[in-house]
Structure 1
């Protein structure tokens, strides 16, 4: 099924996060349970978090350049007290909780800290690298060098993102389907072309559509597709396509053109890959071509222009 046909088929596709990581956001000191405040599940990516003081207590730990702290909310119990200021105990001897107080701290995600090992057991998927994957890796490295974009794979992270000249990806070992890794990588590289190709005026939904179409074009060119990756790509496109179409239908044409420009910019950074992707044209010997032409003339003898007998 072609991309355009699938988009217009009416079938609904569901996007599934293609990489495995930590199950929930939690404190580095207490990895067996998530943070107490449910609001953290909405705003924090899964994984362990550390305060600056916790990081300093590890002699080999180092905060990565450009890392930012996240706000972590914590619920603290306020215990009921009697007239003498002593805690009131229940029938089992435990303090009675009167209410919970919400406080917050600023902490670093473990993926932004070097020299500290996660408590979560790694999930490693093994992948056999093909020639097309080697070409994709070469393209990513060449674009990164040519355009000053740092591409980092962080094991255990639950998020892929682009920060200007920095692209962060979950380690490829976290992907059950390796084609999803390359789709994610080219999506984020598509975002990184935004400044160079002057797409700063685009809204969030439009930019997401451009980045995902860029990934589709590059993965298709390199032959890095299978059914699961294709359907997941469709689900992502379908969501943002519907949003953009409902607001500005004419912008869809611009999104495709912008994605084509982004894909070409990335490909132009690596002549080796461009040459690899060039179609193989075979030379036909002149005698063979003449024989083929004579055969056609013989078939047309005594017939009309449309092959019907006169």
Structure 2
């Protein structure tokens, strides 16, 4: 029986949450960097960032079994690999050689599971010595965060003085409390990143369905699921941006209620597919704000 890859990923994330670990709030990204394939030098993206980053390795490098062998090394006996996925689309043609513009071509999605091993599980290959990223001062983090915000293309209006932080699609504006209400500049920008991630779903930007079809926290059924997915996009998107700014998210502050809310959401009916979709959309949101092109890697 073919394993359900969506369910495997969802179960992995739920397991981490039940152990008190929030995969998208790992300090790993700011301390070590984003996980990267040593053979291709390309960074993993989307859900793979959280699947690998939550492992807490002190080096960002990973390889598949075959890649390790091709580079003259081998996976140490008894080591267990980690799950990553490759997702995308392909075009299926009904005829072997359809005419240009033939509408018989059908676009389909695919999802494949792969196993990768960390550098510490591999022998016979000389990996770069683990080196933590330099610890930034609060001022340096603030400067980076400010630059990220000011460089966002087609940015929404940012208004201070609101009672609660929120993004309002109707006015395309991010509304924030005044900075004095936050514990620190880092907390202010982390919250602002969350709201800016929401704003990328606007029709003038990425036109994300989970934002455009969002009926709010009071929604029921499908509407409730859409709200949860959009919140997860913003949570993950903010984590990507925090890492770029050097802001390390405090896992200790994750309350039991916060953890349980995501466990319940992921265990809900028809929720197994949206964790992967949300991570992909979060990556796109962060890339939009940073105005960079993503590196694509299985």
TM-score above 0.5: no
**Higher RCO, Cα 8 Å, sep 6+:** 2
TM-score scaled by length of structure 2: 0.44
Structure 1 length normalisation: TM-score? Answer: 0.42
Larger Rg: 1
